[in-house]
Amino acid sequence: MTRSLEVFNELYKPYKITRKNNVFILNTMDGNFAIKENPKIDYYKLYQYLKSRSFNYIPEMSLDSRDDLVVLEYQDDLSIDKEQKALDLINIVGLLHSKTSYFKNVTNDKYKEVYDKILKRINYINMMYEELFLDFLNEEYLVPSHYLFLRNYTLIYKAFEYVKDKLDEWFNLIKDKNSERVVLVHNNLKLEHFIKNENDYLISWDHYIIDTPVLDLYKFYQNEWKDISFVNVIDNYNRVFELKEDEKLLLDILISIPLEVSFKKREIDNVREVRELINYLNSSSKIVFND
């Protein structure tokens, strides 16, 4: 515990201190506080900006905050169904994007850079899977993970065909544009970063950036796809802040890129990895091909 936090302890005299990751939770007679030491961002600047945009779904900041110590109001999270919590969270994110959106001038090179970066990733994973396919095909005795991979290779192959085709479609749609819609992106959306209580709060803003709204949806999907039906999540989001055609295409592309499987020593881990890849592709297709 640093000297700054010790001074705060002397001032508020908490009766209980707990730690969650890199945040200290102080329970005091005057309320509960979350304290983050040496923050990576300027929380005061972010706080002022969001308040200026009438976005109030953030914890109140104490006047005792300083450059090396951010003091925020702390609320316990209610225990509710994950699906319901995801829908509540995405409604707040839709509001965040709608209140902070604007169009930013960009050069054609920007879109080409994005295209090349995504294509490079697709080609890398595709080549890796093609090599695995040929290696497994030549094995005399297949272990379960290799058999599972081969049995579902058509699904993997079609996913790569789809993303390559859609990436070209996306680039042809936006390559001549000179502006891009950007928003304040939380950039680390997880269910655990949404507090549901008398008031709703988004927390953990350390990675926020100004970029396409697609990033928040994609990263939320990456973090929570196993436990949540994202068809409903995307539908709810679009009711608050509707994605444009190129944004919808980009989201479909990103979530449809197959996960990268890393084969390990233990066969049970390999089976789990391949099964997760298959489940991910099936989950993504439900969103992409949802009417």
Q: Rounded to two decimals, what is the model's pTM?
A: 0.91
Convert the pLDDT of each residue in 87-129 to its tens digit: 999 999 999 999 999 999 998 789 999 999 999 999 999 999 9
| Cα separation values, 288 from 5, 244, 269, 291, Å | 48, 15, 28, 9
Closest CA to 61 of 79, 69, 273, 152: 69
Domain ranges of the chain: 14-74, 100-288
pLDDT, one tens digit per residue, over 97-108 is 999 999 999 987
Mean of the pLDDT values across residues 158-170? 97
Pick the CATH number of 100-288 from 3.30.70.890, 3.90.1200.10, 3.40.250.10, 3.40.630.10: 3.90.1200.10
pLDDT tens digits, 42-99 = 888 999 999 999 999 998 877 666 677 788 888 877 888 999 999 999 999 999 999 9
Amino acid (one-letter) located at 34: A
Cα 99 to Cα 33, 51, 52, 137: the distances in Å are: 27, 10, 10, 53
Tokens of 229: 């039906």
Give the tens place of pLDDT for each residue, 16-37.
Answer: 777 777 787 877 777 787 888 7
